[in-house]
């Protein structure tokens, strides 16, 4: 009886060991293309918490806060290169450097994500929409395009966002800001063109979903590309991109005055 | 059972655990491959169920202008003239030119749409809105990025503009549904302008046409 009990204990131990080994083997084996096995997200969840306190805007110049948006994240890896480069990871590195460069210029910087999570488009926009006097910069790395170039996109003009209440309609929140966005976009693109040969000299217009619901001057910066053979060539672009954005936002600051949305029905400015 | 047998049993179990641990990653890769193959097969099956491109034997062969990616200029479109049997009915004609666009150019590098994407349906509404319904592959197989998605939409819009004068704006559906984005970047909730001259004369009945300047034409051969 004692011998049988010992054998049962031995077999049970090995079954437990087997299960643990198989679980370990499963986790260290290559990820599925869909990325469904990505581990628990880290960092602060975006959306639920209230945005950080914002400095009061002055009468003529309202720009104090820059919202940086590293695109994708979580199970959404974004563009993926043949060498295993993932857009969702690279943009976080870009964001870190851009943040430093902007903070060195005296701007308060808010990120839509700081770890491997994937807030919704609306949650990301909410970070800028809850702040008066912000600009929004979405960072992307493409899977196409001439390697070593960078493009800036802004939303096309949208119909008026004034629904008569004086409030901005969420789905067209970008509408009052498109001309400011074009101005900011052109400034950033000009700085990028100086540093990265082959980049356009002016910002391009494209209906980027992330920008539509953002009630602030908003641009998307896209770097080419995850398809490079050597990851180091992308890394070498980071300081130039950071410096270009910081200089352009600084140059944009004096001309930024938050547009006033007048309630059409009452005919009174807030 | 004596101690000797217990040692043998322990060794056998240990060997089994090690073998399983070594085999498991390979097994998982095989499962992933099989899964991809099944997804592809499902997509192919869906395409096979689709009615063939409506080409009537009586359709005259006419010159159609297709817009694929430019080899010379990054991020630009280039018009290519091809001779096709095209119907005089605008909706049928649109299906024919879009199927040709999906089939792709001679040079695969100039493709703007994924090769496994299919046009499921096309409608031309009385107000000039062209509704093109594509299979999921148009979003899942396209290279990710603002530039590539914009080029894809512009190639559809410019091809319709060149061949279907009645089309004023384009609405893209994915498998019969309105999608938030094409592949994570480009906004599909609104319409894209097709014929900007007509658009300036007639305002859209629903939605707003959104313009772009990214997929401008590189050169006319």
Q: How far apart (Å, rounded) are the C-alpha atoms in residues A36 and A22?
A: 18
Q: Which residues pair with B66 in a beta bridge?
A: B80
Q: Tell me: the pLDDT tens digits for B115-126?
A: 999 999 999 999
Q: How many CB pairs under 8 A join A and B?
A: 134
CA distance B221 to chain A (A): 22
Q: How far apart (Å, rounded) are the C-alpha atoms in residues B184 and B150?
A: 12
Q: Tell me: the pLDDT tens digits for A158-180?
A: 877 666 777 888 999 999 999 99
Spell out the alpha helix ranges (H) of chain B.
Answer: 3-49, 90-103, 137-140, 146-163, 196-201
Q: Between A16 and B192, whose confidence is greater?
A: B192
Q: What is the pLDDT of residue B36?
A: 66
Please give the DSSP secondary-structure letter assigned to residue A172: G
Residue in A146, A207, A225 closest to B186 by CB: A207
Contacting residues of A for B208, CB less than 8 Å apart:
158-159
Q: What is the pLDDT of residue A115?
A: 95
Domains belonging to chain A, first-starting first, are: 65-255 (3.40.630.40)
pLDDT band for A12, please (50, 70, 90 cuts).
Answer: confident
Could you please report the per-residue DSSP string of A55-121? PPP-SS----EEEEEE--BTTB--SB-TTS-BHHHHHHHHHHHHHHHHHHTT-EEEES-SSS----H
Residue in B10, B180, B187 closest to A10 by CB: B10
Mean pLDDT score, A42-57: 37
Q: What is the average pLDDT value for chain B, to the nearest integer?
A: 83
Contacting residues of B for A146, CB less than 8 Å apart:
74
Lowest-pLDDT range, A118-122, B29-33, B78-82?
Answer: B29-33
Residues B17, A146: C-beta atoms closer than 8 Å: no
Q: What is the average pLDDT value for chain A, to the nearest integer?
A: 81
- For residue A74, is pLDDT > 50? yes
- Asked if A86 reaches chain B (Cβ–Cβ under 8 Å), the answer is no
pLDDT band for A58, please (50, 70, 90 cuts).
Answer: very low
Q: Tell me: the pLDDT tens digits for A108-126?
A: 999 999 999 999 999 999 9
Residues A207, B214: C-beta atoms closer than 8 Å: no
CB atoms under 10 Å from CB of B162, counted, come to: 17
Instruction: Give A 232-251 residues with CB within 8 A of chain B.
Output: none
Q: Tell me: the pLDDT tens digits for B178-221?
A: 999 999 999 999 999 997 665 444 443 344 556 555 555 554 43
Q: What is the pLDDT of residue B73?
A: 87
Buried residues in B66-75 as b, exposed as e (16+ CB within 10 A): bbbbbeeebb
CA distance A88 to chain B (A): 12
The domain spans of chain B are 1-49, 61-201
Q: How far apart (Å, rounded) are the C-alpha atoms in residues A143 and B113?
A: 14
Q: Between B52 and A80, whose confidence is greater?
A: A80
Share of chain A above pLDDT 70, in %: 76
- Asked if A201 reaches chain B (Cβ–Cβ under 8 Å), the answer is no
On the CB side of B77, CA atoms within 13 Å amount to 27
pLDDT band for A53, please (50, 70, 90 cuts).
Answer: very low
Contacting residues of B for A225, CB less than 8 Å apart:
145
CA distance B66 to chain A (A): 21
Q: What is the pLDDT of residue A17?
A: 73
Pick among A85, A207, A214 to test the B interface (most B CBs inside 10 A): A207
């Amino acid at each position: 009886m004692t011998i049988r009990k010992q054998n049962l204990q031995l077999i049970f131990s090995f079954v437990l060991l087997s299960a643990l080994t198989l679980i370990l083997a499963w986790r260290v084996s290559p990820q599925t293309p869909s990325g469904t096995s990505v581990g628990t997200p880290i960092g602060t969840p975006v959306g639920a918490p209230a945005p950080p306190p914002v400095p009061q805007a002055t009468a003529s110049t309202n720009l104090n806060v820059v919202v940086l948006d590293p695109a994708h994240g979580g199970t959404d890896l974004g563009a993926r290169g043949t060498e295993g480069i993932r857009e969702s990871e690279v943009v976080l590195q870009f964001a870190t450097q851009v943040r430093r460069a902007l903070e060195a210029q005296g701007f308060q910087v808010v990120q839509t994500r700081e770890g491997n999570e994937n807030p919704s488009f609306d949650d990301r926009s909410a970070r800028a929409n809850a702040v008066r006097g912000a600009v929004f910069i979405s960072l992307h790395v493409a899977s196409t395009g001439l390697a070593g170039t960078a493009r800036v996109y802004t939303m096309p003009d949208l119909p008026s966002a004034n629904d008569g209440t004086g409030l901005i309609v969420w789905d067209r929140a970008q509408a009052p800001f498109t001309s400011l966005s074009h101005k900011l976009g052109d400034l950033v693109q000009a700085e990028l063109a100086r540093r990265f040969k082959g980049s356009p000299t002016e910002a391009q217009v494209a209906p980027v979903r992330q920008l539509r619901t953002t009630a602030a001057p908003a641009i998307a910066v896209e770097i080419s590309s995850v398809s490079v053979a050597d990851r180091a060539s992308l890394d070498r672009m980071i300081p130039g991109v950071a410096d270009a954005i910081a200089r352009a936002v600084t140059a944009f600051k004096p001309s930024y005055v938050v547009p006033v949305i007048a309630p059409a029905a009452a005919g009174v400015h807030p | 059972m004596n101690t000797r047998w217990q040692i043998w049993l322990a060794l056998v179990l240990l060997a089994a655990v090690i073998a399983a641990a070594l085999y498991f990653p390979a097994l998982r890769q095989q499962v992933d491959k099989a899964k991809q193959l099944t997804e592809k097969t499902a997509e192919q099956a869906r395409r096979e169920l689709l009615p063939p491109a409506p080409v009537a034997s009586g359709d005259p062969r006419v010159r159609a202008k297709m817009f694929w990616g430019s080899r010379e200029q990054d991020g630009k479109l280039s018009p290519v003239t091809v001779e096709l049997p095209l119907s005089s009915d605008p909706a049928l004609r649109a299906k024919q030119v879009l199927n040709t666009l999906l089939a792709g150019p001679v040079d695969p590098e100039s493709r703007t749409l994924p090769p496994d994407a299919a046009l499921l349906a096309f409608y031309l509404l009385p107000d000039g809105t062209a509704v093109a319904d594509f299979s999921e592959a148009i979003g899942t197989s396209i290279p990710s990025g603002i530039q590539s998605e914009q080029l894809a939409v512009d190639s559809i819009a410019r091809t319709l503009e060149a061949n279907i004068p009645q089309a004023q704006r384009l609405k893209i559906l994915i498998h019969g549904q309105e999608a938030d984005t094409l592949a994570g970047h480009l906004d599909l909730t609104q319409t894209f302008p097709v014929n900007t001259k007509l658009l300036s004369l007639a305002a859209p009945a629903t939605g707003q046409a959104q313009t772009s300047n990214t997929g401008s034409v590189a050169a006319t051969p």
